[in-house]
Amino acid sequence: MKIKFKFVLIITVIFCLLMICAAMCAKKLIEDLPSISNLENYTPNIVTKIFDKDENLISELFVERRVLVPLNEIPMNLQNAFIATEDNDFFDHWGISTKGILRAAVTNFLKRKVAQGGSTITQQLSKTIFLTSEKTILRKFKELLLTVQLERNYTKEEILQLYINQIYFGAGGYGAESASKIYFGKSVRDLNLAESALIAGLPKAPNYYSPFKSIERAKQRRAVVLSRMRDLNFITKEQEEEANNYPIPDRKNLQEQTAGYYFIEYLRILLEPKYGTNVLHKGGLSIYTTLDIKMQRAAEKALAENLNNFDTQMAGNKSAANKKVQGAIMAIDPKTGAIRVMVGGRDFKETQFNRAVQAKRQAGSAFKPFVYTAAIDSKLMTPATLLNDEQMVFAFDGRNWNLVSRDLSYVEILAEKMTEDELIDPMKIWYPANYGNKYRGIIPLREAVAKSVNTCAIEVIDKVGPERVIDYARRMGIKSPLVNTLALSLGSSDVTLQEMVSAIGTLASGGIKTEPYFIVKVVDKNGKVLESNIPEEKEVLSPQTSYIMTNLLKGVVEKGSGFAARDLGRPCAGKTGTSNDSVDAWFVGYTPQIVAGVWVGYDDRTSLGTRTTGGSIACPIWTAFMKDALRGYPVVDFVQPKGIEWTLIDPKTGLLALSKTPKAYLEAFLEGTVPAMYCNQKPEQEPLPENETPEEEDGY
């Protein structure tokens, strides 16, 4: 009897100890559980959306591609498809399905491992939000406890909404809205029955059932979902059959982001330090940009087609063998500074280096507008000023470069005074040349600009002074270091394409410098505006000087090195540029609506070929782009401000023309700078015929 009593006592004590231990473990387990109160402030990773200037969605930034939508915007077919597939007793159970657990237990016992769960939608939600996906008994017990708490604190509708917005659908998409955009290119609210069934069938095995991986498996899985929906009387047999015959989506039929990769990456690089990676990629921001996606696509097309053609032409050239030429395009609204186009290279997937903003290259003759702007604005010269296009020899005296001769034969005289090394030393003697070694004698400044004559640009900077040219370039928007030498007139300093486009845009805007910007506003997921930008404007030139320069640069297109731009078929102005040895080719031009620039070159600074110039490669790209970009825009000319005088000029003397002066032309002047005298003798040298083929005359 005593033995039996002792045995019972021992068993009782052991049982109590076990119960205490179990209670302590349960208490500890519950304490370790995440609080469902966190769900009140739960913020899942949400996609950041990027829009163009017309608020077209152009790209998304995300870690988990997710867009939240309320339950009332989720089609009932999709809600029913989830319930039929994942948890047909959802609205009847208390969070846990006994039948599901028993079924899973039998399966797990037979397979000797945790191979299947009888998870309800609520259980899946608790696991997805709060727990890991490990298959252990402890994790399963935590899941059950959390499930009960969720069911006690939230309605079925709230749980279903959270679930549909939370789960993974494959291809980087979290939540039904993202899945709908990925697989069907539409919002979840627009899904039909067949599309809803396909979406609802994905969470079981997103990659396996993805229509992008296997159309047949996706079709079979959709049929299973539709069958379950019919069994539960959510749909009729006729609806099931119709939905089963609906086509499965194919990736090639969906419109993916095809343009603007360089712009988006540029935006990311600038915004990440400001907002942080988490907010930028997970915070659900809406970023409204200045990009014009139609213009962007036109630019990328023009660049790709022309560079492909160039590569084909250069295929037999040893220096260019197995090498792709690169290029960049930038376009800005000159009135506001809004960046409309940014193409940093021919293929973002091959190289993310952004040549529109990161590359600094010699601008060649594309820099000459700053030289002539300084001369015109300072009233040191006019468009009719005569310049001497002859050979030039400069010598350095230790402080300054001095023009010592207009005849290269003078080098022979110098040879008697200098060593051979000194003669070829660019720091001792310099004899710049025109493209093709062609010289025209005395010509007006207008012709020097149009034909891009090097010797004339050097003559102008020599009279104006490099310091003054640097000052004007700075005013207009050039920020890179500039060399304080005469060679600056030939574009010897490295600059970015963005700088060049922005600075030349100052002429297009009538002397108003606008700071380039790319973001209109940034809005958080709650609609709060985090930042907004308005154009920054500053008058740096008179409207009159800007108009005179525009009129001169129109001559580059009409009768000069930018002749390819005549195909645009509307008023435009611009300047070609080719750096020394044809390493870089440029064209920066504008209409009243847009200013754009094109750069072409090899990344390793290999020559593009001795006959390749800004006029032959960059200008045609610019023209092709502008034709597409301006389609639908009105054809308008540049507005003439007050303070401009027009008069007939004799091209030989630069003076006022007489009634019978040969080749007299109408020229625009700043008020008060018109020549005071008439020409009174017959020209000794006839001007070039009107139909002469223009040649670019760039290079040192």
> Residues 370-388: pLDDT tens digits?
999 999 999 999 999 999 9
Q: Residue 587 contacts by C-beta under 8 Å, 6 or more apart in sequence?
A: 366, 562, 565, 574, 575, 576, 577, 597, 598, 614, 615, 618, 619, 621, 622
Q: Does 148 have pLDDT greater than 80?
A: no
Q: Count of alpha carbons within 13 Å of 530, Cβ hemisphere only? A: 17
C-alpha distances (whole Å) from 451 to each of 94, 244, 431, 432, 634 are: 85, 69, 19, 16, 29
Q: Residue 138 contacts by C-beta under 8 Å, 6 or more apart in sequence?
A: 29
Q: Could you give the CA distance from residue 242 to residue 248 in angstroms, rounded to a whole number?
A: 13
* Beta strands at 48-51 and 519-523: parallel, antiparallel or unpaired: unpaired
DSSP string, 613-639: -IIIIIHHHHHHHHHHHTTTS---PPP
Q: What is the pLDDT of residue 689?
A: 46
Q: Is 590 helix (H, G, I), strand (E, B) or coil?
A: strand
Bridge partner residues of 283 (DSSP): 46
pLDDT digits (tens, 9 = 90+) for 152-168: 888 889 889 988 988 88
Q: Does 684 have pLDDT greater than 50?
A: no
Kindly report the number of other CB atoms within 10 A of residue 43's CB atom. 11
Q: What is the pLDDT of residue 24?
A: 52
> Please, which pLDDT band fits residue 398 given cuts at 50, 70 and 90?
confident
Q: Is 659 helix (H, G, I), strand (E, B) or coil?
A: coil
Read off φ and ψ for residue 591, nearest 5 degrees.
Answer: -115, 180
How confident is the model over 405-424, as a mean pLDDT? 68
Q: Could you give the CA distance from residue 575 to residue 696 in angstroms, rounded to a whole number?
A: 10
Read off φ and ψ for residue 286, nearest 5 degrees.
Answer: -120, 115
Q: How many H-runs (helices) and E-runs (strands) does the chain carry?
A: 22, 24
Q: What is the pLDDT of residue 316?
A: 67
Mutual angle of helices 137-153 and 121-130, in 10-degree steps: 110
How confident is the model over 307-326, as a mean pLDDT? 81
Read off φ and ψ for residue 231, nearest 5 degrees.
Answer: -60, -35
How confident is the model over 547-565, as a mean pLDDT? 96
- CA angle, 263 then 267 then 271, to 5°: 175
Asked if 431 contacts 414 with a C-beta cutoff of 8 angstroms, the reply is: no
Higher-confidence residue: 249 or 226?
A: 226
Q: Does 365 have pLDDT greater than 90?
A: yes
Asked if 49 contacts 57 with a C-beta cutoff of 8 angstroms, the reply is: yes
Give the residue ranges of DSSP H helices in 276-393: 277-282, 293-313, 368-377
How confident is the model over 517-539, as a mean pLDDT? 95
pLDDT digits (tens, 9 = 90+) for 687-700: 444 444 444 444 44
Kindly report the number of other CB atoms within 10 A of residue 556's CB atom. 30
Cα dihedral sign, 344-345-347-352: negative
Q: Does 681 have pLDDT greater than 90?
A: no
Asked if 229 contacts 216 with a C-beta cutoff of 8 angstroms, the reply is: no
Asked if 370 contacts 575 with a C-beta cutoff of 8 angstroms, the reply is: no
Q: What is the pLDDT of residue 513?
A: 97
How confident is the model over 174-194, as a mean pLDDT? 91
Q: Does 74 have pLDDT greater than 70?
A: yes
Q: What is the pLDDT of residue 86?
A: 87
Q: Does 574 have pLDDT greater than 90?
A: yes
pLDDT digits (tens, 9 = 90+) for 117-132: 557 888 887 777 654 4
How confident is the model over 201-215, as a mean pLDDT? 91
| Catalytic residue list contains 365 | yes
Which of 178, 365, 561, 579 is flagged as catalytic?
365
Q: Which of 45-59, 179-193, 546-560 has the highest mean pLDDT?
A: 546-560
- Amino acid code (one letter) for 476: M
Q: Could you give the CA distance from residue 433 to residue 429 in angstroms, rounded to a whole number?
A: 13
Q: What is the pLDDT of residue 548?
A: 98
* Among candidate residues 285, 284, 281, 209, the one with its CA nearest the CA of residue 249: 209
Kindly report the number of other CB atoms within 10 A of residue 484's CB atom. 13
Q: What is the pLDDT of residue 301?
A: 95
Report CA dihedral (628, 629, 635, 641) to the nearest 10 degrees: -150
How confident is the model over 429-443, as a mean pLDDT? 88
What mean pLDDT value characterizes the chain? Answer: 85
| Catalytic residue list contains 499 | no
Cα dihedral sign, 318-319-320-321: positive
pLDDT digits (tens, 9 = 90+) for 285-309: 999 999 999 999 999 999 999 999 9
How confident is the model over 519-533, as a mean pLDDT? 95
End-to-end CA distance of the chain: 119
Q: What is the pLDDT of residue 409?
A: 74
Domains of the chain: 70-253 (1.10.3810.10)
Sheet-wide strand order for 595-601: 339-343, 326-332, 595-601, 584-590, 573-578
How confident is the model over 347-356, as a mean pLDDT? 91
pLDDT digits (tens, 9 = 90+) for 78-132: 999 999 998 888 888 776 766 656 665 565 556 555 444 557 888 887 777 654 4
Bridge partner residues of 429 (DSSP): 395
Beta strands in 398-471 (DSSP E): 401-405, 429-430, 441-444
Q: What is the pLDDT of residue 257?
A: 54
Which of 59, 60, 86, 180 is flagged as catalytic?
86
**What is the Cα 243 distance to its own chain's centre?**
41
Q: Residue 241 contacts by C-beta under 8 Å, 6 or more apart in sequence?
A: none
Q: Could you give the percent of the chain with pLDDT greater than 70?
A: 80
* Among candidate residues 514, 502, 630, 518, the one with its CA nearest the CA of residue 53: 518
